[in-house]
């Protein structure tokens, strides 16, 4: 019973941080980091996953808070200290979006651009990387493949607080993936082991 109460508290604290009046937090307080680390130690993170009917991708969105929770989960699974330099290095600021092709996806085209659209405003990524999720120089293991393999990963300084679309421009035309407030309320299991 105490374990259920702790998990319920962590879920409520996480949702309060993620859904605060302005949406996802851009900078984390020490209290936010402590809550995110505690949540990560339950092998959960508020990484947003969206897909759409007829879409070729699952789209993943990671906030700074979700990143800290993910790193804490990986450190626990890999039996590394949360204070290890590689673990701290992995707690990068910013927002990240990456795509995974679904099993039914077409493969006869290329992705040419990914950006976020909110109303009539577009937000472009500040960088694109072709890395996998690492803790320092060590590839993460024991984590679900969707959070490990992020090729490519698009980084943003900020994302809109309200509803928005992730737009995936392809050589075959654009695909829009709506992100609603309710999508931000879910927790994703990020560890492979059954904790």
pLDDT for the residue 16: 40
More confident residue, 84 or 159: 159
> pLDDT tier at 192 (50, 70, 90 boundaries)?
confident
pLDDT for the residue 43: 95
**Section 54-75 average pLDDT:** 94
pLDDT in tens, 2-53: 444 334 444 434 434 443 333 444 588 999 999 999 999 999 999 999 999 9
More confident residue, 6 or 190: 190
pLDDT for the residue 194: 59
pLDDT for the residue 22: 38
Cα(47)–Cα(153) distance, integer angstroms = 14
Beta carbons of 179 and 165 less than 8 angstroms apart = yes
Q: Is the pLDDT of residue 84 over 80?
A: yes
Beta carbons of 184 and 14 less than 8 angstroms apart = no
pLDDT in tens, 139-183: 777 888 888 888 899 999 999 989 999 999 999 999 999 999 999
Cα(193)–Cα(195) distance, integer angstroms = 6
Q: Is the pLDDT of residue 85 over 50?
A: yes
Cα(71)–Cα(37) distance, integer angstroms = 8
**Section 53-80 average pLDDT:** 93
pLDDT for the residue 133: 80
Averaged pLDDT score across all residues of the chain? 84
pTM over 0.75: yes
| Residue % of the chain over a pLDDT of 70 | 85
Q: Is the pLDDT of residue 187 over 50?
A: yes
**Closest among 21, 27, 168, 29 to 100, alpha carbons compared:** 168
pLDDT for the residue 151: 83
């Amino acid at each position: 019973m105490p374990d259920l109460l702790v998990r319920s508290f962590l879920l409520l604290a996480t949702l309060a941080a993620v859904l605060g009046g302005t949406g996802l937090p851009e900078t984390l307080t020490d209290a936010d980091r402590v809550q995110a680390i505690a949540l990560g130690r339950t092998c959960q993170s508020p990484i947003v996953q969206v897909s759409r009917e007829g879409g070729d991708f699952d789209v993943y969105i990671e906030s700074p808070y979700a990143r800290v929770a993910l790193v804490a989960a990986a450190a626990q699974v890999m039996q590394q200290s949360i204070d290890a330099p590689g673990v701290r290095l992995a707690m990068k600021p910013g927002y990240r979006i990456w795509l995974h092709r679904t099993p039914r996806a077409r493969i006869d085209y290329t992705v040419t651009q990914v950006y976020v659209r909110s109303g009539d405003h577009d937000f472009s990524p500040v960088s694109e990387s072709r890395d996998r999720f690492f803790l320092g120089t060590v590839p993460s293991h024991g984590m679900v493949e969707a959070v490990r393999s992020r090729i490519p990963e698009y980084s943003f300084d900020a994302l809109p607080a309200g509803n928005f679309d992730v737009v995936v421009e392809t050589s075959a035309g654009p695909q829009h993936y709506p992100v609603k407030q309710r999508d931000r309320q879910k927790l994703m299991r990020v560890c492979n082991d059954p904790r």
